[in-house]
Copies of this chain bind each other. A is one copy, B any other.
Amino acid sequence: MAEIKVVEQIMKANDAWAERNRALLAEKNVLALNLIGSPGSGKTTLLEKTFQAMGQPERFFVMEGDVATSCDAERIGQCGVDVVQITTGNSCHIDAHLIHKAFEGFSLDTCEVLFVENVGNLVCPAEFDIGEHAKITILSTAEGHEKPLKYPLVFEESELVVLTKIDLLPYLDFDLDVFRANVAKVNPKVPIIETSTKTGEGVADWVEWIQNRRSQMA
Protein backbone atom coordinates (compact mmCIF):
# COMPACT_ATOMS: atom_id res chain seq x y z
CA MET A 1 0.00 0.00 0.00
CA ALA A 2 3.05 2.29 0.25
CA GLU A 3 2.78 3.14 -3.44
CA ILE A 4 -0.84 4.29 -3.16
CA LYS A 5 -0.04 6.43 -0.11
CA VAL A 6 2.78 8.19 -1.93
CA VAL A 7 0.54 8.84 -4.93
CA GLU A 8 -2.06 10.36 -2.58
CA GLN A 9 0.62 12.56 -1.02
CA ILE A 10 1.82 13.71 -4.43
CA MET A 11 -1.73 14.60 -5.50
CA LYS A 12 -2.38 16.41 -2.20
CA ALA A 13 0.81 18.46 -2.56
CA ASN A 14 -0.11 19.17 -6.19
CA ASP A 15 -3.58 20.38 -5.23
CA ALA A 16 -2.15 22.74 -2.61
CA TRP A 17 0.12 24.32 -5.24
CA ALA A 18 -2.85 24.47 -7.64
CA GLU A 19 -4.80 26.49 -5.04
CA ARG A 20 -1.92 28.94 -4.71
CA ASN A 21 -1.79 29.31 -8.51
CA ARG A 22 -5.55 29.88 -8.60
CA ALA A 23 -5.29 32.60 -5.94
CA LEU A 24 -2.51 34.37 -7.85
CA LEU A 25 -4.47 34.21 -11.11
CA ALA A 26 -7.60 35.58 -9.38
CA GLU A 27 -5.63 38.43 -7.81
CA LYS A 28 -4.22 39.38 -11.23
CA ASN A 29 -7.50 38.68 -13.05
CA VAL A 30 -5.79 36.28 -15.49
CA LEU A 31 -7.69 33.49 -17.27
CA ALA A 32 -5.61 30.28 -17.35
CA LEU A 33 -6.23 27.72 -20.10
CA ASN A 34 -4.55 24.30 -19.98
CA LEU A 35 -4.11 22.92 -23.52
CA ILE A 36 -3.80 19.14 -23.61
CA GLY A 37 -3.19 17.05 -26.71
CA SER A 38 -1.02 14.34 -28.29
CA PRO A 39 2.37 15.09 -29.84
CA GLY A 40 1.73 16.77 -33.16
CA SER A 41 -1.92 17.62 -32.49
CA GLY A 42 -1.16 21.22 -33.48
CA LYS A 43 -1.14 23.02 -30.13
CA THR A 44 1.77 25.39 -30.89
CA THR A 45 0.52 26.25 -34.37
CA LEU A 46 -2.94 27.00 -32.98
CA LEU A 47 -1.35 29.39 -30.45
CA GLU A 48 0.66 31.12 -33.20
CA LYS A 49 -2.54 31.69 -35.21
CA THR A 50 -4.35 32.84 -32.06
CA PHE A 51 -1.79 35.56 -31.37
CA GLN A 52 -1.77 36.64 -35.02
CA ALA A 53 -5.57 36.98 -34.88
CA MET A 54 -5.82 38.67 -31.48
CA GLY A 55 -2.94 41.16 -31.59
CA GLN A 56 -1.73 43.01 -28.48
CA PRO A 57 0.76 40.33 -27.41
CA GLU A 58 1.21 41.99 -24.01
CA ARG A 59 -2.20 40.58 -23.04
CA PHE A 60 -0.90 37.01 -23.19
CA PHE A 61 1.53 34.76 -21.38
CA VAL A 62 2.50 31.23 -22.41
CA MET A 63 4.05 28.35 -20.51
CA GLU A 64 5.46 25.71 -22.86
CA GLY A 65 5.74 22.20 -21.44
CA ASP A 66 8.11 19.76 -23.14
CA VAL A 67 10.14 16.75 -22.09
CA ALA A 68 13.03 18.16 -24.15
CA THR A 69 14.01 21.12 -26.37
CA SER A 70 12.75 24.70 -26.34
CA CYS A 71 11.71 24.90 -30.00
CA ASP A 72 8.02 25.54 -29.24
CA ALA A 73 8.89 28.35 -26.82
CA GLU A 74 11.08 29.93 -29.50
CA ARG A 75 8.16 29.84 -31.95
CA ILE A 76 5.87 31.52 -29.40
CA GLY A 77 8.56 34.10 -28.58
CA GLN A 78 8.61 35.08 -32.24
CA CYS A 79 4.95 36.12 -31.86
CA GLY A 80 6.09 38.76 -29.35
CA VAL A 81 4.38 36.97 -26.46
CA ASP A 82 6.10 36.39 -23.12
CA VAL A 83 6.86 32.69 -22.79
CA VAL A 84 8.48 30.41 -20.21
CA GLN A 85 9.84 27.01 -21.18
CA ILE A 86 9.03 24.26 -18.66
CA THR A 87 11.26 21.30 -19.48
CA THR A 88 10.08 18.26 -17.55
CA GLY A 89 12.93 15.85 -18.32
CA ASN A 90 11.24 12.48 -18.71
CA SER A 91 8.14 13.55 -16.81
CA CYS A 92 4.99 13.19 -18.86
CA HIS A 93 2.97 16.13 -17.52
CA ILE A 94 3.24 19.58 -15.92
CA ASP A 95 2.33 19.71 -12.24
CA ALA A 96 1.09 22.70 -10.25
CA HIS A 97 4.45 23.33 -8.59
CA LEU A 98 6.21 23.67 -11.97
CA ILE A 99 3.57 26.24 -12.93
CA HIS A 100 4.08 28.10 -9.67
CA LYS A 101 7.83 28.31 -10.24
CA ALA A 102 7.25 29.53 -13.81
CA PHE A 103 5.38 32.60 -12.50
CA GLU A 104 8.59 33.87 -10.88
CA GLY A 105 9.95 36.98 -12.50
CA PHE A 106 6.74 37.82 -14.38
CA SER A 107 4.45 40.62 -13.17
CA LEU A 108 1.28 39.48 -15.02
CA ASP A 109 0.08 43.11 -14.74
CA THR A 110 -0.86 43.44 -18.42
CA CYS A 111 -1.73 39.75 -18.84
CA GLU A 112 -5.32 38.71 -19.53
CA VAL A 113 -4.88 35.10 -20.62
CA LEU A 114 -2.28 32.49 -19.67
CA PHE A 115 -2.01 29.56 -22.07
CA VAL A 116 -0.30 26.45 -20.71
CA GLU A 117 0.73 24.15 -23.53
CA ASN A 118 1.06 20.88 -21.68
CA VAL A 119 3.49 18.06 -22.59
CA GLY A 120 2.29 16.22 -25.73
CA ASN A 121 0.31 13.43 -24.08
CA LEU A 122 -3.40 12.61 -24.03
CA VAL A 123 -3.22 10.58 -20.79
CA CYS A 124 -1.29 11.92 -17.78
CA PRO A 125 -1.83 15.71 -18.01
CA ALA A 126 -5.60 15.19 -17.64
CA GLU A 127 -5.07 13.96 -14.07
CA PHE A 128 -3.36 17.09 -12.74
CA ASP A 129 -5.07 20.26 -11.54
CA ILE A 130 -2.56 23.03 -12.15
CA GLY A 131 -4.87 25.83 -10.98
CA GLU A 132 -6.26 26.46 -14.48
CA HIS A 133 -9.76 27.77 -15.16
CA ALA A 134 -10.35 25.32 -17.98
CA LYS A 135 -8.72 22.30 -19.56
CA ILE A 136 -9.03 22.18 -23.35
CA THR A 137 -8.53 19.04 -25.43
CA ILE A 138 -6.71 19.59 -28.72
CA LEU A 139 -7.13 16.64 -31.12
CA SER A 140 -6.09 16.41 -34.74
CA THR A 141 -8.23 14.70 -37.38
CA ALA A 142 -5.21 12.49 -38.19
CA GLU A 143 -5.59 10.82 -34.77
CA GLY A 144 -8.97 9.26 -35.58
CA HIS A 145 -12.61 9.77 -34.58
CA GLU A 146 -12.61 7.05 -31.89
CA LYS A 147 -10.16 8.85 -29.58
CA PRO A 148 -12.79 10.30 -27.17
CA LEU A 149 -13.76 6.73 -26.25
CA LYS A 150 -10.16 5.55 -25.96
CA TYR A 151 -8.91 8.51 -23.90
CA PRO A 152 -12.08 9.52 -22.03
CA LEU A 153 -10.59 11.37 -19.02
CA VAL A 154 -9.19 14.34 -20.91
CA PHE A 155 -12.48 14.77 -22.81
CA GLU A 156 -14.48 14.48 -19.56
CA GLU A 157 -12.32 17.08 -17.84
CA SER A 158 -12.38 19.60 -20.70
CA GLU A 159 -14.56 22.67 -21.09
CA LEU A 160 -13.86 22.76 -24.82
CA VAL A 161 -12.62 20.41 -27.54
CA VAL A 162 -10.66 21.90 -30.44
CA LEU A 163 -10.45 19.62 -33.46
CA THR A 164 -7.45 20.61 -35.61
CA LYS A 165 -6.32 19.86 -39.17
CA ILE A 166 -9.80 19.63 -40.69
CA ASP A 167 -8.14 20.45 -44.03
CA LEU A 168 -6.90 16.83 -43.99
CA LEU A 169 -10.44 15.37 -43.85
CA PRO A 170 -10.59 14.53 -47.60
CA TYR A 171 -7.53 12.26 -47.18
CA LEU A 172 -8.51 10.50 -43.94
CA ASP A 173 -11.08 7.93 -42.77
CA PHE A 174 -12.28 10.40 -40.15
CA ASP A 175 -16.06 10.63 -39.73
CA LEU A 176 -17.02 14.01 -38.21
CA ASP A 177 -20.49 12.83 -37.16
CA VAL A 178 -19.07 9.77 -35.42
CA PHE A 179 -16.47 11.98 -33.72
CA ARG A 180 -19.14 14.40 -32.45
CA ALA A 181 -21.23 11.47 -31.19
CA ASN A 182 -18.19 9.96 -29.44
CA VAL A 183 -17.38 13.27 -27.72
CA ALA A 184 -21.02 13.53 -26.60
CA LYS A 185 -20.93 10.00 -25.13
CA VAL A 186 -18.04 11.00 -22.86
CA ASN A 187 -19.00 14.63 -22.17
CA PRO A 188 -22.50 15.52 -23.45
CA LYS A 189 -22.19 19.28 -22.84
CA VAL A 190 -18.71 20.08 -24.16
CA PRO A 191 -18.62 22.26 -27.30
CA ILE A 192 -16.38 21.34 -30.25
CA ILE A 193 -14.64 23.91 -32.43
CA GLU A 194 -13.40 22.56 -35.77
CA THR A 195 -10.30 24.31 -37.05
CA SER A 196 -7.63 24.38 -39.71
CA THR A 197 -4.60 26.60 -39.23
CA LYS A 198 -3.85 26.02 -42.95
CA THR A 199 -7.11 27.53 -44.23
CA GLY A 200 -7.88 29.61 -41.12
CA GLU A 201 -11.27 27.92 -40.73
CA GLY A 202 -12.60 27.98 -37.17
CA VAL A 203 -9.81 30.17 -35.77
CA ALA A 204 -12.25 33.10 -35.32
CA ASP A 205 -14.63 30.82 -33.37
CA TRP A 206 -11.78 29.78 -31.09
CA VAL A 207 -10.75 33.41 -30.53
CA GLU A 208 -14.38 34.29 -29.74
CA TRP A 209 -14.57 31.41 -27.24
CA ILE A 210 -11.44 32.73 -25.47
CA GLN A 211 -12.85 36.26 -25.32
CA ASN A 212 -16.21 35.07 -23.97
CA ARG A 213 -14.53 32.88 -21.38
CA ARG A 214 -12.35 35.79 -20.29
CA SER A 215 -15.34 38.11 -19.98
CA GLN A 216 -17.08 35.58 -17.69
CA MET A 217 -14.34 36.24 -15.13
CA ALA A 218 -15.10 39.96 -14.70
Contact = CB atoms under 8 A, between A and B. Distances in A.
B123 A92 contact: yes
A194 interface: no
A69 B140 contact: no
A119 to B, nearest CB: 7
Interface stretch (A76-84, A141-149, A208-216): A141-149
Interface range for A = 35 or more
17 contacts: A38-B39, A38-B40, A38-B120, A39-B122, A39-B151, A66-B150, A67-B151, A68-B151, A69-B149, A71-B149, A90-B127, A92-B124, A121-B121, A121-B124, A142-B142, A142-B168, A168-B172
Interface of A: 2-3, 6, 9-10, 38-40, 66-69, 71-72, 90, 92, 119-124, 127, 140, 142-144, 146-147, 149-153, 165, 167-168, 171-172
